[in-house]
Amino acid sequence: MTGQCMPRRRGTWMRTLAALGCAGFVMAALPACGAKDTGSAETPKRTDVEVVAFQQPWTSIAKECASTYGPEGVAYVEVSPPQESIQGTQWWTSYQPVSYRLDSKLGTEAEFQDMIETCDAAGVGIIADVVLNQTTGAAAADQGGWREGIAGSRYDPSTGAYPAFTADGAYPDGVDAKDFHDYADGASINGYMDQQEVQEGRLSGMWDFDTSSEKVRDIQSDYLKRLYDMGVKGFRMDAVKHISAEDMQAIKQRMAEKVGKDPDDIFWIQEVIGNAAEASGIQPRNYFGTGTVTQFAYTSNLNSALRGDVSSLADVGERLGDAGRNKFAIPSKDANVFVTNWDTARNPGQAITYKDGALYPLANAFLLSYDYGTPRLLSDYRFADRDAGAPGATDTSVPAVDFDEACAAAGGDWNCQQRWTPTRGMIAFHNYVHGTKVTDLQEPDSSLLAFSRGDRGFVAFNNGTKEAAHEFSTTMPDGEYCDVYAVEDCSRTVRVRNGKVQVMLAPTSAVALYAGATKTTHPSANRAVDPSTPQW
């Protein structure tokens, strides 16, 4: 049962703390609760949580690794594509490379190296977003001529001449039209039922690399080797369904040979969007032999359930991961799961995003508490225009952001999701319960869902519009635990008695407890709520 001083509505409670002017929400404002910041336990050991630092400069990510990602237990930070790209303020210009030089609008090669080393020192591995499928849009002849990329590399999009794509001194002339697919005389993809069209046609008019070419494989595997040698710990491969499974495997194999590693020991995330209305050969299952894959069905399931019947999430892991139930299944070990990414966030209705208020942290809490897939969080910026680049972006650069300033209050240009109190608490929860199974799953009505993670954790969700009081069963030991979804300093607690836990759930909110966070053993914190956390 919750303590008597625990407020009944999360939003009211957060506004009260803010009104007290706690300068980091000092605990002196909550003496009646008896909360003490003992700092007698460390943050749970990091496991597999990934954060996508979307369109963030290398210098900013380096500082955030040291101040936030490392201390809160993030295992990996995925960065936007680091290679040289076309000029432009739009975020998607990063996905149109003109060379594999490591000077981009997000920073120089030296800054990229420093970021890798700084993050590694903080215990955080860098995952590079890699674009192998395409270069730039193919301009018409009368719109052609030589242009320059971010770092000054020349290219001609009308003829397919990209002289800066080389490999360790080889291919000094780069690539030209012969190194790209020429499906239907350069036609763009119009449908997804023809595998050849999807994998050899031009995606949104962009030149499509012939990844079956030995030359192309050599150039691309050399780029991957360079990133690996710099200390990159993993690779997120963009637009993989547009590359044949055989080509993808061959490129990874060649890269592995160049770095002297077994391909299975290289962390490989492949963007593949499974869809029953698409060709069999481009489904995620075709790529399991090369690495993990993105599970977009998880995103759509969360989107549907949390806007409607939350109890439908009770068996989402089995529905999406068991091939006996679903021929498009992705086993948990092969699935990268997320609430939203930058693409779905910019397509209204596809996913739950920061624009959905309290529903967004609730969805991320489910992502981090359930036992299916490898969780990926998103750290991005506010936008009205779906094409808009990061705050302050120019044609050739994105200005560094000081997250201590940008996240000093909620509602700024940057969302700061990585610092929100529910994010911090649920990362700790995930790391603490990692390796356990969901137990005691309960779904008393369409708005309530709760489960335990063995004897290590308990979480309950309310996606309804009204407060809900309920008593759940749990396999957690009896005791008083910090509600890590709500606070960082254990000023809000919930008690387990005789295998039962009584909770009062605010609308669109959750309660999360783990055995390593009690009044005497919770990780050190000098505030209840991070100032970047919105007042939902």
Catalytic residues: 238, 271
Per residue, the 3-state secondary structure of 227-281, as one string, reads HHHHCCCEEEECCHHHCCHHHHHHHHHHHHHHHCCCHHHCEEEECCCCCCCCCHH
- Residue 63 in tokens: 């500082």
Q: What CA–CA distance (Å, rounded) separates 284 from 271?
A: 9
Q: Where are the alpha helices (DSSP H) in 69-190?
A: 70-72, 109-121
**Residue-wise DSSP of 420-433:** SHHHHHHHHHHHHH
How many CB atoms within 10 Å of residue 486?
26
Q: How far apart are the first and last CA of the chain?
A: 24
Distance CA 341, CA 136 (A): 22
What would the two tokens of residue 112 be?
A: 């990229």
Q: Which residue's entry shows tokens 């607690």? A: 493
Q: Residue 260: which residues within 8 A CB-CB, separation 6 or more?
A: none
CA Rg value for the chain: 24
Specify the amino acid at residue 442. Q
Q: Using CA atoms, how far apart are residues 533 and 525, in angstroms rounded to an integer?
A: 15
With beta carbons less than 8 A apart as the criterion, state whether 335 and 298 touch.
yes
Q: Which residues contact 200 (CB under 8 A, 6 or more apart)?
A: 181, 182, 183, 208
DSSP string, 170-189: B-TT-B-GGGB--GGGTPBP
Kindly report the backbone phi and psi dihedral angles of residue 461, in degrees, each rounded to the nearest multiple of 5, phi listed first.
-125, 145
Q: How many residues does the chain have?
A: 536
CA-based nearest residue to 82, from 238, 210, 215: 238
Residue 336's H or E segment, with its range, is: strand 335-338
Q: Which residues of 192-205 are buried (b: 16+ CB within 10 A; e: fewer)?
A: eebbebbbbbbbeb
Burial (CB count <10 Å: 0-12, 13-18, 19+), residue 250: middle
Provide φ and ψ at 247, rounded to 5°: -65, -40
- Residue 107 has φ and ψ, to the nearest 5°, of 150, 175
Q: Within a 10 A sphere around the Cβ of 87, how many other Cβ atoms?
A: 16
